[in-house]
Amino acid sequence: MPHSGCKDADGASLDLYAEYAAVRGEGLAIPRDDLLPITDTLQAPGQACSTFGLHPRLTEVQTLFGEGAAALFANVGALAEPITKAEFKAKTKPLPLSLFAHNAQQIAAANLHADSLTAKGVMGRLAHALASQDPPYRVGSYSIDGNQKILQGDGEPARIINRKSGIDQFTYYSTLGETLANLSATRARSVFAETYGSSLGEAFEQSEGLGATLESAQVSDEYAAANAAYDPNSQLCQQFEQVTCRCPCRSISRYVHLPFTFPSLRSPSSSACGATR
């Protein structure tokens, strides 16, 4: 949010923090003195302020930014095409679909198509493009938070990794695996039944193979020790732990050149977690 050093297009000083505080209101606006300042040392053209403020709990992000190891993007949002305030009010140009619907804007952020809620996810499209070029990359997609729009693509679907337990495997696969394979191998006349059967068989095979790989990975106990903000009950921390401790294991690296791994933040209780580099 704006902190200080703000100016308008003509160079006149502005107090954009006061504007923020007025809009948010007392009790919601974070006091200026509590914000963690970060300075735009590059003085990017068109940027209204030279100093912005981070939430008081984002101390690690402030440190990473100061070290040049993290970047922040200001004034980011969905846009169908360039538009002015006057054009927005006059409704003379197309706007993003369901502009003020939170769920729709989450989809737009995941597929980078503000004018389409059905477009594939941006990471899914990237993975498909890399896997389709000549010579192709071996690409694998992994989600630490269930099925995510951002990983949807025309290629192989993302593997789901549980943030707590890693890969959830079928308990009785050792005794029922052959029977299940026979059931899912049966050809069906219905395209829906055939899709379901093939997907079920692939899910069992992938969970067993990837589960065995991750179980054999050496999981370091240094993750929690190296991060003072680590909270074992935080959803975000649990996701990052899976990403840093399990996903880079050598067994996966032999088969995948570029792993696309996606953790996500769903609740305020997950907002504090030590960042990994």
Q: pLDDT, tens digit, for every residue of 63-77?
A: 999 998 888 876 678
Rounded to 5 degrees, what angle do the CA atoms 82, 9, 76 make?
Answer: 40
Rounded to 5 degrees, what angle do the CA atoms 158, 159, 165 make?
Answer: 145
Q: Specify whether 193 is located in the same domain as 255.
A: yes
22 burial type by CB count under 10 A (0-12 exposed, 13-18 middle, 19+ buried): exposed
- pLDDT reading at 254 higher than 60: no
Q: Specify whether 113 is located in the same domain as 146.
A: no
In the chain, what percentage of residues exceed pLDDT 90? 20
Q: Specify whether 159 is located in the same domain as 50.
A: no
Residue 124: inside a domain:
no
- pLDDT reading at 119 higher than 70: yes
Residue 125: inside a domain:
no
Residue 72: inside a domain:
no
The residue among 197 and 53 whose pLDDT is bigger is 53
Mean pLDDT over the full length of the chain? 79
| Last residue in a domain, options 58, 89, 118 | 118
Instruction: Report the pLDDT value the prediction gives residue 269, as an integer from 0 to 100.
Output: 33
Q: Specify whether 196 is located in the same domain as 228.
A: yes
Residue 275: inside a domain:
no
Q: Specify whether 157 is located in the same domain as 209.
A: yes
Number of domains in the chain: 3
Contact present, 238 and 266 (Cβ < 8 Å): no
pLDDT tens, residue by residue, 22-46 = 999 988 999 999 999 998 777 667 7
**How many CB atoms are closer than 10 A to CB 210?**
22
Q: Specify whether 193 is located in the same domain as 241.
A: yes
- pLDDT reading at 57 higher than 80: yes
Rounded alpha-carbon distances, angstroms, from residue 20 to 10, 30, 115, 170, 272: 21, 9, 29, 51, 23
The residue among 232 and 15 whose pLDDT is bigger is 15
Q: Specify whether 82 is located in the same domain as 59.
A: no
pLDDT band at 53 (very low <50, low <70, confident <90, very high): very high
| Mean pLDDT of the 239-245 span | 71
**Amino acid at the residue 13:** S
Q: Specify whether 27 is located in the same domain as 150.
A: no
pLDDT band at 271 (very low <50, low <70, confident <90, very high): very low
| Mean pLDDT of the 118-127 span | 90
Q: Specify whether 62 is located in the same domain as 87.
A: no
The residue among 21 and 143 whose pLDDT is bigger is 21
Residue 162: inside a domain:
yes
Q: Specify whether 46 is located in the same domain as 112.
A: no
Q: Specify whether 259 is located in the same domain as 210.
A: yes
Q: How far is 236 from 243, CA to CA, in rounded Å?
A: 11
Residue 83: inside a domain:
yes
pLDDT tens, residue by residue, 6-25 = 988 788 999 999 999 999 99
Provide the domain limits for residue 90: 77-118
- pLDDT reading at 266 higher than 60: no
Residue 134: inside a domain:
no
| Mean pLDDT of the 126-152 span | 86
pLDDT tens, residue by residue, 158-206 = 888 887 777 778 888 888 888 888 877 778 788 888 888 777 777 787 7
| Mean pLDDT of the 64-93 span | 86
Residue 164: inside a domain:
yes
Q: Specify whether 165 is located in the same domain as 262.
A: yes
